[in-house]
Structure 1
Amino acid sequence: MKALITGSAGFIGSHLSQRLLEEGYDVVGIDNLNDYYPSFIKKKNVELCNDFSRNLDSKFNFVEGDILNQSIMEEVFDEFNFELVFHQAAQAGVRYSVENPIEPNNINVNGTLNLLETSRKNDVRLFINASSSSVYGETKYLPFDEKHPKTPKSPYGVSKLASEQYCRVFNELYDINTVSLRYFTVYGPRMRPDMAISNFVRRCLNNKSPIIYGNGKQTRDFTYIQDVTKANIELISKKEAQGEIINIGSGENISIKKLAKEIIKETNLEKEPIYSEKKKGDVKNTYADIKKAKKLINYEPKFGIKEGIKKYIDWYKKNKDWYKNNK
């Protein structure tokens, strides 16, 4: 089968491309290579997927294009005839969205709608939408189950909630099978350089204290990238999950202060964290109730935060130049 991955040059999209190629799917990736974070990192991801596919029977094709461009999307669908769509493209960043509220709406809402409509017209069998724990907002209770009130604190969270609702409506009105996965802070090799774990590790390995925004008591559920890609793969064959919205997390959480201490310990840094002013839009806690994912797709996260941090640090030490432009 052929699969389309939007945002395929990004962190999650490139890992998902590799996983699908391993599973024997022909993959077409589309990405506009925008400069929210350095585009040379995204180009490295594309090169990696191209190199990876050369040793397999499955094929990887990359298209530089924007999901907002309807003519490009129609051309891509006409040429490749997809059965599966994995929609990972988004304007990411809670803090970025606070300063730029219109952009996440344009990309995350209008882009999703454009992609859904193109998928509907082309009889796509399954549309998997990447959503976010940011839809929940402030804590009413923990852990968050899928029925927890949704009161997002950022334009990014609002845009992701809207994208979920468009998927639900298309599932109900147009008989296109959709699923939305609410990711809880995904991390791992090749992760975005602006994320907390990558920032902390980079600073610690350069003999600098990690910077914590706020008092460090806020907690996060960090989900390792391999658990996320496995959840996406499982959805392909699980018809009972179609039409659903599902949390994908680790099933545990950790305070940012404790996270920083753990990274300091693992990197043998002899310094304490530095504290700075809390950023607007940040929520106090995230923590996924994953019972629904276990029931519907046999989801069992394999990586706890301590093991995941060690794996990321090991990768970073071997790939220090990944975040550097060597051209």
Structure 2
Amino acid sequence: MQVLVTGGAGFIGGHIAERLANEGHDVTVFDKFVPYYDLGIKDHTVDVCREAAEENGGSYELIEGCLTDAELVEDAIEDIDVVYHQAAQAGVRASVDEPKKVNEFNVTGTINVLEAARKHDVERVVVASSSSVYGKPEYLPYDGDHRTTPVSPYGVSKLATEQYTRVYNEIYGLPTVALRYFTVYGPRMRPNMAFTNFVSRCLHGESPEIYGDGEQTRDFTYVDDIKRVNEQLLTDDSADGEIMNIGSTDNIDILTLAEVVRDEIDPSLEIEFTDARKGDAEHTHADISKANELLGYEPTVDIREGAEQFIEWYRANEEWYDPLVRNS
């Protein structure tokens, strides 16, 4: 199949592109290469995906551009069967500083993707949303009935993104699915995340540093589970028109996560604390019953197993991935 992955040089989009390339599909990646973090990581992802396509009989094309360029987006989608819209201006804290920017990329960019997909009769558009749409929890886990009251411009932009996705299905009949990801982690993840910071600091003999008191909880989802459900939606129409949570087996508080990482690498290190940051949700936890009912989705990796796998991968790829090593 002809598949387009927006944000396909990034973390989640790159894993989806690699998975589809390994299955022999013809993959086109659309990415702006914003230097939000070291672009060498994206370059590595592109190389991995291109090699996968060459080895498995598919093709790989890279388009560098911005989703706000409606004409370029339409040209990219013209001959595509399925679109995985993973591109976004990421970062809750960055969105607090630049709310107009996050709206332009995430909302306007999504409308451009949906319009082009509608015009060219794309078979399905799978859109990445976020647990950030929920905001402050009235109860946990978050289910489909929970209010969506985001506490950051990023969360607002993702809520608009998924609602436009739903509306394009209801009004225009465009097959769409919106997936609310819950804190995805794994190989090639952004190096400025708490998870990667903990690992990097511990590997270099520095104490893991927590923003706030560490009582915040997160539902960390291993990227392999994300890849699997996205690949299923390449041909499965069971969830068309739906918005659903994609989470893990449980949630964990940040202090415990830091301890798990520390104990795996260097149990002698002390945990350090610094000021909390604006815009971060206090707690997340996904009710995945809808995804289970419609798609049979079941997460397979719990946080402790995933942490061990990620640390092992990190050690093996530290030379090109770790910011302290690259910049030394």
**TM-score scaled by length of structure 2:** 0.96
- Conserved 8 A contact 1:205-1:269: no
Q: Which amino acid aligns with 1:286?
A: T
1:278 aligned partner, one-letter code:
A
Deviates most, 39-48 or 93-102: 39-48
Task: Name the SS of the counterpart of 2:56 in structure 1.
Answer: coil
1:116 is paired with a residue whose SS is helix
| Structure 1 residue corresponding to 2:272, chosen from 271, 274, 277 | 274
Unaligned runs of 5+ in 1: none
Measure, in 2, the Cα distance between the counterparts of 1:130 and 1:322.
Answer: 27
Per the alignment, in what secondary structure is the counterpart of residue 156 of structure 1? Answer: helix
Within a 5 Å distance, the mapping from 1:285-300 to structure 2 comes to 285-300=283-298
What does residue 20 of structure 2 align with?
20
Deviations 1:211-230 (A, max 9, x none): 10111011000000000011
In structure 2, what is the Cα distance between the partners aligned to 1:61 and 1:82? Answer: 12
Greater displacement, 264-273 / 304-313: 264-273
Q: Does 1:230 align with 2:220?
A: no
Query: Which amino acid in structure 2 is aligned with residue 25 of structure 1?
Result: H
Deviations along 1:245-285, one digit per CA (max 9) or x if unpaired, are 01000030000000000001000241111111110001110
Aligned residue for 1:9, secondary structure, equals: coil
Q: Residue 87 of structure 2: SS of its match in structure 1?
A: coil
Which one of 62, 77, 88 corresponds to residue 86 of structure 2? Answer: 88
**Letter matched to residue 158 of structure 1:** V
Tell me the distance in 2 between the aligned counterparts of 1:213 and 1:257.
10
1:121-160 to structure 2, matched below 5 A, reads 121-160=119-158
Structure 1: distance between partners of 2:238 and 2:47: 36
Runs of 4+ in 1 over 3 A off after TM superposition: none
Q: Are positions 1:40 and 2:40 aligned together? A: yes
The normalised TM-score by structure 1 is: 0.97
Whole-angstrom CA distance in 1 between matches of 2:126 and 2:287:
20
**Percent identity between the two aligned chains:** 49
Which of 181-190 and 99-108 deviates more?
99-108
Task: Name 1:57's counterpart in structure 2.
Answer: 57
Look up the equivalent residue of 1:311 and give its one-letter code: Q
Q: Which residue identity is paired with 1:10? A: G
Contact 1:3–1:83 (Cα < 8 Å) also in 2: yes
RMSD: 1.1
Distance 2:21 2:197 in 1: 30
CA contact (8 A) 1:252 1:287 kept: yes
Matched with 1:194 is 192
Letter paired with 2:215: K
Contact 1:251 1:290 survives alignment (8 Å): no
Give the Cα separation in 2 of the matches to 1:271 and 1:265: 8
Letter in 2 for 1:42: K
Give 1:302's match in structure 2, choosing from 296, 300, 315.
300
Counterpart Cα distance in 2 of 1:156 and 1:217 = 22
What corresponds to 2:73 in structure 1? 73
Match of 2:173 in 1: 175
Equivalent position of 2:30 in the other structure: 30
Q: Distance in 2 between matches of 1:226 and 1:251?
A: 13
Q: Secondary structure at the match of 1:92?
A: coil
| Runs (5+) with no aligned partner, structure 2 | none
Q: What's the CA shift string for 1:189-236, capped at 9, x where partnerless?
A: 010001111110000000001110111011000000000011111223
Residues 268-316 of structure 1 show CA distances to partners (whole Å, capped at 9, x for unaligned) of 2411111111100011100000111111111111100001000000001
Query: Which amino acid is 1:274 matched to?
Result: E
CA distance in 2, matches of 1:166, 1:219: 29
Alignment of 1:235-250 (within 5 A): 235-250=233-248
Q: Distance in 2 between matches of 1:60 and 1:260?
A: 38
Letter in 1 for 2:199: V
What SS class does the counterpart of residue 130 from structure 1 fall into? strand
**Contact conserved, 2:23 with 2:56, CA < 8 A, in 1?**
no
Q: 1:74 offset after TM fit, Å?
A: 2.3
